[in-house]
Structure 1
């Protein structure tokens, strides 16, 4: 039986074919297409089959994993050689190498440690190095001078995106991871990186350090840690320090609130699972709108939109997330909650149940976000801007509670409700900014 590390090495060797793209030009997809055909219809035994076969491949008698991997690379290669609006060759190579070599790093670490955090670190580190090296080699082959900041940012973003998707999916879903990573890196490349290499390097170091602390202190699970690091990196690079300060205020205070009197909340049956550690779903449910807002801010000049609207959408969404988090984590410790739609008494932890203490703490949470925003951003009317953010936070918290009382449960989960609540906060703040400021 082939070891998982040797198999990962075989996939890495196939992925390295991407480096031939500058020489092959329009035929860059050919090597991967040939490998896909051989894997799907020709190779069903022998040493090559033994090297690449996963357990399910052995049962099927066909190298489905290698075929899927190669087809995904073929698709990206076609996008990279399209006549118009093609994906940059460096992005194509980075996406393929991130998955191919990242798995080698993960498997190598897993042979020494069983800690999932170290496995993700191994994947991300090797994927980052491979993607960075691939971009530099491609640029040199094309006679171009690579931009260090862009190379580091795209390599880091690609490694984090792939690590996140890999932690949420299955091993056989490498094709989905590769395609998704390639498309997102293409988007990031189109937006462009205005920050210098020092700023990008500092941003990466700071977000990784904070992610490690969040994982080790138990405020984030492994997927939650990776999601937080990715969000932090994109926020600093596309937004700036002021944007990141708001994001980190939410994650820091929100994470601590989940730990606050955790044993008491556990006894009352209202504590978060996994000892309060945030998972990727929780992080994305609360911060997906903010992520879209910061990317929209970076791309606003291309879309001819007012960048200030995205500022208020960003702060309003995180004010709503902060309000809802604090009202939920702290409000459950006081009194008997009432259902927000009928005001009837309900059991603690009931979806849509609120207490006046929790609502008051939620307003304080929105005010904290507003204060950080006023410090980090330059507003013409700081007081009105702060009130706009607070209003967005309270509106989003209210939307979250109403949806929790009316829709949550069954097909509509907590993460969806959180997303809609933060969307309500973003829209409220943005609309008020247009009307008032």
Structure 2
């Protein structure tokens, strides 16, 4: 057993103590605070050697264990003070620790990033499921009917943790743990009906889709994790029609990135990393859609009808599709014109458009609208027109921002976000204006 596995196993052992919060939350908070205090003064001996990370050895302090323990104690305090569910607290702590342990075991067999990521998310997922079940069992709450929901919560937490771990450092584990706890807390307050087959199919479809996108080099590991998380939340909180709208963008957008890639590279407009989109790119295009799905699920708390969020969702995806196709298709043609002055500019100039790209973008927006009309009974031809216009409007906003402010404080991902936000707002606004969202 390597030192990294022993260390991860020791952290997992400490994390397991959090299960006692099922009956003694205050004692658990005090225990972890004490562990953190001891870790700050322990500078040698067997325990130091067991828990010390390389950076800890350099500093002569178990700062990693101290940070983990104090963060766990703080979460336990939230259970007592603001009502954080005990099952969520234990799930977040065990997910992180056992995910790290599984990742270290996998690393002894494979150096591939995808393997380590899969190990972390799988180990964390399994640990979170069992942690929630154990807590419910100790507290005398029924387990069987809640298993699908517990699995959904564990899967969502594991994917978020895996995504954060792929972009943060090991010392940032407390941030990961708190983020997972907040996400799961939010979901426990939503009114959800999740069946066994719903969650099995959702996980199978989204993981399969994510792996294919990575295998085809249309997404990096972080992009894959982000896409899987977004897709899973869309299916469970919205439904399969919502997922079909979302997946249309990922599928056609990813394929368009590969379209005449060498020509776009020559023109200086090709996506980096051979077209594999990262997590930031995925979120820039789909964050608005995610917020719309969450708002739809929480609409009982909001003074707005559910259908508003459906049009916001579809409008933002139409904008993302329209903008992506206009850029990826239009990028292979020469002689673009700046949208604000219509003068010719070099290929790759922000805000430069071609008629071929504009036509491709409008077509992409119409594709999203047609999918929405065919799958949502509440969206008729007029609603489809609203979604198509929202997508074209978002594409135009992207070009205008590119021609005016991109590169001067706003990066490409920020511009993408604002364009999809414009698409979502246009979709929701037009739906309200013509009486479709009542």
SS of 1:346's equivalent in the other structure is coil
Partner of 2:137: 140
Q: Which of residues 122, 125, 147 is equivalent to 1:125?
A: 122
Query: Gapped runs of 5+ residues in structure 2?
Result: none
Point out 4+ residue stretches in structure 1 off by more than 4 angstroms. none
Q: Mapping of 1:7-406 within 5 angstroms? A: 7-40=7-40, 42-82=41-81, 85-146=82-143, 147-379=146-378, 382-406=380-404
SS of 2:256's equivalent in the other structure is helix
SS of 1:81's equivalent in the other structure is helix
Report how far residue 304 of structure 1 moved. Answer: 3.7
Query: Gapped runs of 5+ residues in structure 1?
Result: none
Residue 396 and residue 289 in structure 1: after superposition, are their counterparts in 2 closer, same or farther (change >3 A)? same
CA distance in 2, matches of 1:5, 1:25: 29
Report how far residue 88 of structure 1 moved. Answer: 0.9
Aligned partners of 1:2 and 1:50 also within 8 Å: no
SS of 2:417's equivalent in the other structure is helix
Report how far residue 120 of structure 1 moved. Answer: 0.7
Aligned partners of 1:366 and 1:393 also within 8 Å: yes
Partner of 1:428: 426
Aligned partners of 1:22 and 1:89 also within 8 Å: yes
Report how far residue 100 of structure 1 moved. Answer: 0.5
SS of 2:23's equivalent in the other structure is helix
SS of 2:268's equivalent in the other structure is coil
Aligned partners of 2:25 and 2:79 also within 8 Å: no
Report how far residue 411 of structure 1 moved. Answer: 3.1
SS of 1:28's equivalent in the other structure is helix
CA distance in 1, matches of 2:44, 2:403: 57
Aligned partners of 2:206 and 2:231 also within 8 Å: yes
1:102-124 CA distances to partner (integer Å, 9 max, x unpaired)? 01111111111111111111011
SS of 1:31's equivalent in the other structure is helix
Residue 418 (structure 1) aligned with residue 421 (structure 2): no
Aligned-residue RMSD, C-alpha: 1.3
CA distance in 1, matches of 2:25, 2:110: 42
SS of 2:189's equivalent in the other structure is helix
SS of 2:298's equivalent in the other structure is helix
Count of residue correspondences:
433
1:48-101 CA distances to partner (integer Å, 9 max, x unpaired)? 11111112211211111111111111121111122xx50111111111111110
CA distance in 1, matches of 2:398, 2:56: 45
Report how far residue 410 of structure 1 moved. Answer: 4.6
Aligned partners of 1:28 and 1:78 also within 8 Å: no
CA distance in 2, matches of 1:18, 1:242: 39
CA distance in 2, matches of 1:303, 1:196: 25
Aligned partners of 2:25 and 2:76 also within 8 Å: no
